[in-house]
A = this chain, B = another copy of it.
Protein backbone atom coordinates (compact mmCIF):
# COMPACT_ATOMS: atom_id res chain seq x y z
CA UNK A 1 0.00 0.00 0.00
CA UNK A 2 1.13 3.52 -0.79
CA UNK A 3 1.22 4.60 2.84
CA UNK A 4 3.74 1.96 3.81
CA UNK A 5 6.62 4.17 2.73
CA UNK A 6 5.15 6.99 4.79
CA UNK A 7 5.06 4.93 7.95
CA UNK A 8 8.46 3.41 7.46
CA UNK A 9 9.83 6.93 6.98
CA UNK A 10 8.39 8.25 10.22
CA UNK A 11 9.36 5.10 12.07
CA UNK A 12 12.95 6.11 11.47
CA UNK A 13 12.24 8.92 13.94
CA UNK A 14 10.16 7.07 16.48
CA UNK A 15 7.63 4.30 16.64
CA UNK A 16 3.98 5.03 17.25
CA UNK A 17 1.49 2.95 19.16
CA UNK A 18 -0.94 1.06 17.00
CA UNK A 19 -3.70 3.36 18.14
CA UNK A 20 -1.87 6.51 17.15
CA UNK A 21 -0.78 5.04 13.86
CA UNK A 22 -4.34 4.12 13.00
CA UNK A 23 -5.61 7.56 13.92
CA UNK A 24 -2.95 9.11 11.73
CA UNK A 25 -3.60 6.74 8.87
CA UNK A 26 -7.24 7.63 9.04
CA UNK A 27 -6.49 11.28 8.26
CA UNK A 28 -4.11 10.72 5.38
CA UNK A 29 -5.49 10.96 1.87
CA UNK A 30 -3.60 9.60 -1.09
CA UNK A 31 -3.88 11.71 -4.19
CA UNK A 32 -2.36 11.62 -7.63
CA UNK A 33 -1.50 14.71 -9.63
CA UNK A 34 -0.11 15.13 -13.11
CA UNK A 35 3.19 16.77 -14.04
CA UNK A 36 3.06 20.58 -13.89
CA UNK A 37 0.21 20.60 -11.42
CA UNK A 38 0.52 23.49 -8.99
CA UNK A 39 0.40 22.07 -5.49
CA UNK A 40 0.82 25.37 -3.68
CA UNK A 41 0.29 28.79 -5.13
CA UNK A 42 2.16 31.79 -3.82
CA UNK A 43 -0.17 34.20 -2.06
CA UNK A 44 -2.51 31.54 -0.76
CA UNK A 45 -2.46 30.01 2.70
CA UNK A 46 -1.33 26.40 2.63
CA UNK A 47 -3.54 24.24 4.81
CA UNK A 48 -1.89 20.92 4.07
CA UNK A 49 1.19 18.98 4.85
CA UNK A 50 2.19 16.73 2.00
CA UNK A 51 4.25 13.60 1.92
CA UNK A 52 5.68 12.78 -1.46
CA UNK A 53 5.19 9.07 -2.06
CA UNK A 54 6.21 8.99 -5.71
CA UNK A 55 7.58 11.55 -8.15
CA UNK A 56 9.41 14.81 -7.71
CA UNK A 57 8.55 18.47 -7.46
CA UNK A 58 10.07 21.89 -6.95
CA UNK A 59 9.48 24.92 -4.76
CA UNK A 60 10.14 28.32 -6.25
CA UNK A 61 9.95 32.00 -5.53
CA UNK A 62 9.13 34.83 -7.84
CA UNK A 63 11.95 37.32 -7.97
CA UNK A 64 11.69 40.26 -10.35
CA UNK A 65 8.97 38.31 -12.12
CA UNK A 66 11.25 35.35 -12.67
CA UNK A 67 10.79 31.94 -11.09
CA UNK A 68 13.74 30.95 -8.97
CA UNK A 69 13.67 27.32 -7.92
CA UNK A 70 14.75 27.14 -4.34
CA UNK A 71 14.50 23.44 -3.59
CA UNK A 72 13.07 20.22 -4.85
CA UNK A 73 11.89 17.04 -3.27
CA UNK A 74 11.87 13.40 -4.21
CA UNK A 75 10.26 10.30 -2.79
CA UNK A 76 9.65 10.14 0.97
CA UNK A 77 9.97 13.82 1.72
CA UNK A 78 7.61 16.07 3.63
CA UNK A 79 6.57 18.98 1.51
CA UNK A 80 4.68 22.19 2.08
CA UNK A 81 5.29 25.88 2.39
CA UNK A 82 6.51 25.56 5.95
CA UNK A 83 6.20 29.29 6.37
CA UNK A 84 2.56 29.29 5.41
CA UNK A 85 1.72 26.00 7.08
CA UNK A 86 3.28 26.98 10.40
CA UNK A 87 2.21 30.61 10.47
CA UNK A 88 -1.11 30.42 8.60
CA UNK A 89 -0.07 33.38 6.48
CA UNK A 90 -0.04 33.46 2.66
CA UNK A 91 2.79 31.47 1.14
CA UNK A 92 5.77 33.20 -0.42
CA UNK A 93 6.61 30.27 -2.61
CA UNK A 94 4.84 28.01 -5.05
CA UNK A 95 5.25 24.30 -5.54
CA UNK A 96 4.81 22.61 -8.86
CA UNK A 97 5.25 19.01 -9.94
CA UNK A 98 8.18 17.99 -12.10
CA UNK A 99 6.65 14.55 -12.68
CA UNK A 100 3.35 12.80 -12.16
CA UNK A 101 3.19 12.35 -8.40
CA UNK A 102 1.54 10.29 -5.70
CA UNK A 103 1.10 12.40 -2.62
CA UNK A 104 -0.23 11.76 0.85
CA UNK A 105 -2.11 14.74 2.19
CA UNK A 106 -2.77 15.75 5.76
CA UNK A 107 -4.91 18.72 6.69
CA UNK A 108 -3.42 21.26 9.08
CA UNK A 109 -6.46 21.03 11.29
CA UNK A 110 -6.31 17.24 11.42
CA UNK A 111 -2.64 17.34 12.30
CA UNK A 112 -3.29 19.80 15.12
CA UNK A 113 -5.99 17.52 16.46
CA UNK A 114 -3.67 14.53 16.28
CA UNK A 115 -1.02 16.53 18.11
CA UNK A 116 -3.52 17.39 20.79
CA UNK A 117 -4.85 13.90 21.09
CA UNK A 118 -1.57 11.96 21.00
CA UNK A 119 1.46 13.13 22.86
CA UNK A 120 3.51 10.62 20.89
CA UNK A 121 2.48 12.21 17.60
CA UNK A 122 3.44 15.62 18.85
CA UNK A 123 6.73 14.10 19.95
CA UNK A 124 7.24 12.73 16.47
CA UNK A 125 6.34 16.09 14.98
CA UNK A 126 8.96 17.79 17.10
CA UNK A 127 11.65 15.32 16.07
CA UNK A 128 10.84 15.70 12.40
CA UNK A 129 10.82 19.47 12.70
CA UNK A 130 14.20 19.38 14.42
CA UNK A 131 15.50 17.19 11.65
CA UNK A 132 14.31 19.58 8.96
CA UNK A 133 15.93 22.42 10.86
CA UNK A 134 19.27 20.64 10.75
CA UNK A 135 18.96 19.93 7.04
CA UNK A 136 18.30 23.60 6.38
CA UNK A 137 21.18 24.65 8.60
CA UNK A 138 23.51 22.32 6.74
CA UNK A 139 22.39 23.77 3.45
CA UNK A 140 22.91 27.31 4.69
CA UNK A 141 26.35 26.40 5.90
CA UNK A 142 27.31 24.79 2.60
CA UNK A 143 26.22 27.81 0.64
CA UNK A 144 28.40 30.00 2.77
CA UNK A 145 31.59 27.98 2.74
CA UNK A 146 31.67 25.79 -0.31
CA UNK A 147 32.45 26.69 -3.88
CA UNK A 148 29.85 26.12 -6.54
CA UNK A 149 31.84 23.22 -7.85
CA UNK A 150 31.92 21.60 -4.43
CA UNK A 151 28.19 22.10 -4.04
CA UNK A 152 27.59 20.52 -7.40
CA UNK A 153 29.87 17.56 -6.75
CA UNK A 154 28.27 16.97 -3.39
CA UNK A 155 24.82 17.08 -4.90
CA UNK A 156 25.85 14.51 -7.48
CA UNK A 157 27.12 12.10 -4.86
CA UNK A 158 23.96 12.52 -2.81
CA UNK A 159 21.56 12.36 -5.76
CA UNK A 160 23.43 10.95 -8.75
CA UNK A 161 20.21 10.56 -10.72
CA UNK A 162 19.05 14.11 -10.18
CA UNK A 163 19.90 15.43 -13.62
CA UNK A 164 17.87 12.69 -15.21
CA UNK A 165 14.81 14.01 -13.44
CA UNK A 166 15.38 17.73 -12.98
CA UNK A 167 16.33 20.27 -15.68
CA UNK A 168 19.75 21.83 -15.29
CA UNK A 169 18.37 25.31 -14.75
CA UNK A 170 16.45 24.24 -11.67
CA UNK A 171 19.48 22.47 -10.25
CA UNK A 172 21.56 25.58 -10.84
CA UNK A 173 19.06 27.77 -9.01
CA UNK A 174 19.03 25.30 -6.14
CA UNK A 175 22.78 25.64 -5.91
CA UNK A 176 22.44 29.42 -5.97
CA UNK A 177 24.01 30.00 -9.39
CA UNK A 178 22.78 30.54 -12.93
CA UNK A 179 22.27 27.82 -15.45
CA UNK A 180 25.13 29.15 -17.59
CA UNK A 181 27.58 28.97 -14.73
CA UNK A 182 26.58 25.43 -13.86
CA UNK A 183 26.92 24.41 -17.48
CA UNK A 184 30.46 25.77 -17.50
CA UNK A 185 31.32 24.02 -14.24
CA UNK A 186 30.17 20.76 -15.72
CA UNK A 187 32.09 21.32 -18.92
CA UNK A 188 35.41 21.71 -17.13
CA UNK A 189 36.05 18.18 -15.96
A positions within 8 Å CB-CB of B:
61, 63, 68, 70, 82-83, 86-87, 92, 115, 119, 122-123, 125-126, 129-134, 136-141, 143-145, 176
Q: What is the interface of chain A mostly: helix, strand, loop, or mixed?
A: helix
User: Which residue in chain B gives the minimum CB-CB distance to A130?
Assistant: B86
What's the Cα separation between A92 and B131 when bound, in Å? 16
Please indicate the chain B residues that have their CB under 8 angstroms from the CB of A61 in the complex: 141, 145
Q: Which of A130, A144, A145 has the most CB of B within 10 A?
A: A130
CB distance B68 to A137 under 8 Å? no
- Smallest distance from the beta carbon of A119 to chain B beta carbons, Å? 4
Minimum CB–CB distance from A124 to chain B (whole Å) comes to 10
Q: Is the CB of B144 within 8 A of A68?
A: yes
Alpha-carbon gap, A145 to B67, bound state (A): 12
Partner of A122, one of B126, B134, B138, B145: B126
Chain B, Cβ-Cβ closest to A133? B133
Chain B residues, Cβ within 8 Å of A86 = 130-131, 133-134
- A131 / chain B contacts, CB cutoff of 8 Å: 86
